[in-house]
Structures are given as structure tokens and as C-alpha cells.
């Protein structure tokens, strides 16, 4: 039976072991407190300290997701994809919960190492790196990286000859993902022998195979075909007389919910079918959205209003150039609720039966900075709040300072079972 995280006792260990700095107690809440309760408490009790917009990172969600990963994929080690959300508090929590890390740049590596994480818990999962970045990885002891070209072999041989290689391959099946990472990375089947031989001739050790089926809407059946293709690469290396491979990296594309259950079933069955006789096999995954998406909630303040007949137009202090960048993708489903401090300060949660078609703009001067169109909202006033759920994946990491406006990335409050901490994200 997999070992699960103890929700109550582990919280203290997360904060004491993760290198968190500058944290302060914001409020004490029961374990049943909702994110809405937490946000209301923050706004009510610390109005002079609130720098809107802000986000809440719910560690209870992260712990539950880690427990589910351990239950569903007990043989797969999670290497969190830092690019999805590099919030230092999230990284620290995941490190304390036993996660490893998929980094794609020196900045990401440095963030993880700053938490006291050992470099052997990092895979440099970028198949194309500049020479200076390879030298940096060598200098800090990150000794496993991906490749998919002869040119990359030559660079690694020159600047990091002790580095172990993982060959990135391109899945042959179309997974239906909205973001097909195979357009940029991954060796074709007929390129595999040449790449393996090039690495072997260079005196570099190829220790495994990686792939990525794509993100957003990928069919979980695609894991089966990709794992079978990875098995053929293991066999090709063996036929070439190369040292036995040990790493199977199944990449990312994971989302929380029922699709994760479906993906887990396909992955477990494929590994059992195709790698049953592989002793000492190490299977790793690179979840990003899985851990980050549902753990963050964004709170934004209404800073402007205009009425045109039945249409209500509002301005908020975050937008598509900030944390809300994902709303420009038609697949992203916006989940929005209201906290009406401005209109009814003593009755935050009261409900109106009447709603109005509403447009919500971000704070910049670009008219494309539009968050919601024809969205039904109750009558709002200045200093009311809009709260957006599931705002952790590719949100703050894609935010900009366009027009001089920053996102909520620097204002993150950390919530856990009985305590809520406020902190500024230094990542």
C-alpha cells in the first residue's frame, strides 16, 4: 500500500523544511474553511496590507493531489514541471512532500536548489540548451538531461561530459492535444539508431527515454502507444550493444479529476505489458497542471464601472497580460464568483436574483485585455471583488508587466488545514 501524507502533522514539516521566508500568520481557520472563507477573512482582517490582486495557494489541495498520485501511480515518481507555476511556496511544499523537479532553464534550477533540494532530484528536461546553460548545469551537479539531436550530443560532450542522457522521442499517434509538443521536440523512430550511436560514440551514457503526449485535451490512450514506442528504443539500444537503460519518462499532460484516473489506468497497464521484465526500471512523470491548476484561486478588485442600458462593464486589476492570460484560449472554462464588499460591506455573501450581461476588462489600455464577455453577474460596485478558481496552471508564469501592471504572482497567501500564511512570492 502506498504511503500517504498525513494531512495535519505534515503541514508543520512543510513550512519548517521548505525554506519559506518572511511568512506571517494571517488568520486561524478551521479545517472546513473554504477558499471563499479564507479570501473574505484576508480582505476583512488585513485591508491595509492587501495589495490586490492576490492569489491563495491551498496546500490542502496539493496534499490531496499528492496522495492521489501516490495511490494511482505508485511506481511513477513525480517530477513537477516548474514552468507551469514557479511559485516558490508551491515548489517548497512539493519538495517537502517528496516530489522531484523538471526544470528547463538555469533560473528554474536555481529556484529549486535554493530550497535545499538535492540536484539529483532534478531532470534538465529541455532537449535544446545553450552552451552556457549546459555549463551551469554541470557546475551545480544537475547530471541528467534530455536530447533529441546530434548537435545537442556534441554540446553536452564538450561542456558536461559526465551528464547522463535521456532520449526524447516523438509519439507517433496523434493524441488530439491542443498543444502538441511534438511539433518542437522529439526524435522520429527512424532517427533513433543514429542518435543512440552518436551518444555512444561520444562516450555519453544514454540512461532512458522520454516523451510527451501533449497538453490540454490529449487522449489518455496515447500513453499506451508512446510507452510501446519507448520500449522499442530500449530494445534498439540493447541491439546496439549499449548499456542497459533504466529510465522511462512518461512526460506530462496530466490533469486532476476523472481524466487522471483514466490516464493512470492506461499507464499502469502499458508499463506492465511492455516493461514487465525490465528490472530496476525507474518510471518518472512530469506533472505540471495536475498539481498547480486547482491549488490557486485569484482575487481581483473592481476598479471601474460603466452602465450601457442592460450591459454592465467592469474593470478589474488583473487581466490577460497578467494572471488571467489563459482566458484567451477557448478551451479554458472560467469559474468566477463575486464578493460584494463595495455594495454591501456587512453582507458579503448575500444573493440577488437579478443578474446582468457583463463585460469584464483588465487594467491595461489594450482593448483586447478583456476577461469576460456577456457573462451573467449581479450588480457590482467599486471595491467589490471577482474571484476566479483554478488559476494555478500557466497563469502567473505567463504574466507580464505590460503597461506597467503586474499580476498576482507577487501576492500569494498560503492556506493549510488550520493556518493561513501571507507571503510575497520571490520566484
Say if strands 419-423 and 412-415 run parallel, antiparallel, or are unpaired. antiparallel
3-class DSSP state for residue 76? strand
The rounded distance, in Å, linking the Cα atoms of 177 and 181 is 9
With CA atoms as reference, report the closest residue to 266 among 206, 296, 208, 222: 222
Residue 318 near residue 407 (C-beta atoms within 8 A): yes
Number of H helices, E strands in the chain: 11, 18
The rounded distance, in Å, linking the Cα atoms of 340 and 235 is 62
Burial (CB count within 10 angstroms: exposed 0-12, middle 13-18, buried 19+), residue 223:
buried
The reply to whether 416 belongs to the active site is: no
Burial (CB count within 10 angstroms: exposed 0-12, middle 13-18, buried 19+), residue 199:
buried
128, 336, 365, 416: the active-site residue: 365
Which sign, positive or negative, has the C-alpha torsion 266, 268, 272, 276?
positive
With CA atoms as reference, report the closest residue to 415 among 295, 257, 300: 295
Residue 127 near residue 185 (C-beta atoms within 8 A): yes
Angle ∠(80,31,287) on CA atoms, nearest 5: 10
Q: What amino acid positions are annotated as catalytic residues? A: 365
Amino acid at each position: 500500500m502506498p504511503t500517504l501524507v498525513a494531512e495535519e502533522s505534515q503541514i508543520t514539516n512543510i513550512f519548517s523544511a521548505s525554506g519559506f521566508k518572511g511568512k506571517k500568520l494571517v488568520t486561524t481557520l478551521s479545517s472546513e474553511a473554504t477558499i471563499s472563507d479564507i479570501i473574505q477573512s484576508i480582505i476583512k482582517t488585513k485591508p491595509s496590507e492587501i495589495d490586490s490582486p492576490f492569489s491563495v495557494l491551498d496546500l490542502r489541495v496539493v496534499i490531496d493531489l499528492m496522495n492521489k498520485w501516490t495511490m494511482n501511480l505508485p511506481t511513477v515518481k513525480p517530477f513537477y514541471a516548474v514552468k507551469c507555476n514557479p511559485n516558490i511556496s508551491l515548489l517548497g511544499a512539493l519538495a517537502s512532500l517528496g516530489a522531484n523537479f523538471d526544470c528547463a532553464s538555469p533560473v528554474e534550477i536555481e529556484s529549486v536548489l535554493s530550497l535545499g533540494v538535492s540536484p539529483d532530484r532534478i531532470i534538465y528536461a529541455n532537449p535544446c540548451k545553450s552552451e552556457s546553460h549546459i555549463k551551469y548545469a554541470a557546475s551545480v551537479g544537475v547530471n541528467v538531461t534530455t536530447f533529441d539531436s546530434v548537435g545537442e550530443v556534441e554540446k553536452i560532450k564538450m561542456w558536461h561530459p559526465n551528464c547522463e542522457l535521456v532520449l526524447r522521442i516523438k509519439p507517433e499517434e496523434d493524441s488530439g492535444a491542443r498543444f502538441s509538443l511534438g511539433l518542437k521536440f522529439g526524435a522520429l523512430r527512424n532517427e533513433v539508431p543514429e542518435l543512440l550511436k552518436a551518444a555512444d560514440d561520444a562516450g555519453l551514457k544514454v540512461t532512458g527515454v522520454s516523451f510527451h503526449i501533449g497538453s490540454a485535451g490529449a487522449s489518455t490512450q496515447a500513453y499506451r502507444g508512446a510507452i510501446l514506442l519507448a520500449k522499442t528504443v530500449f530494445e534498439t539500444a540493447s541491439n546496439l550493444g549499449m548499456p542497459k537503460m533504466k529510465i522511462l519518462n512518461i512526460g506530462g499532460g496530466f490533469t486532476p479529476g476523472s481524466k487522471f484516473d483514466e490516464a493512470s489506468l492506461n499507464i499502469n497497464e502499458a508499463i506492465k505489458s511492455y516493461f514487465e521484465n525490465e528490472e530496476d526500471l525507474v518510471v518518472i512523470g512530469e506533472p505540471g497542471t495536475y498539481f498547480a491548476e486547482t491549488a490557486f484561486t485569484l482575487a481581483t478588485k473592481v476598479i471601474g464601472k460603466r452602465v450601457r442600458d442592460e450591459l454592465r462593464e467592469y474593470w478589474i486589476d488583473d487581466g490577460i497580460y497578467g494572471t488571467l492570460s489563459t482566458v484567451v484560449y477557448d478551451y479554458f472554462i472560467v469559474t468566477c464568483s463575486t464578493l460584494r464588499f463595495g455594495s454591501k460591506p456587512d453582507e458579503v455573501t448575500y444573493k440577488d436574483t437579478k443578474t446582468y450581461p457583463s463585460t469584464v476588462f483588465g487594467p491595461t489600455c489594450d482593448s483586447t485585455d478583456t476577461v469576460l464577455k456577456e457573462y451573467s453577474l449581479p450588480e457590482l460596485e467599486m471595491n467589490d471583488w471577482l474571484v476566479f478558481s483554478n488559476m494555478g496552471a500557466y497563469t502567473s508564469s505567463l504574466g507580464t508587466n505590460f503597461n506597467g501592471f503586474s499580476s498576482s504572482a507577487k501576492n500569494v497567501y498560503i492556506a493549510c488545514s488550520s493556518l493561513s500564511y501571507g507571503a510575497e512570492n520571490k520566484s
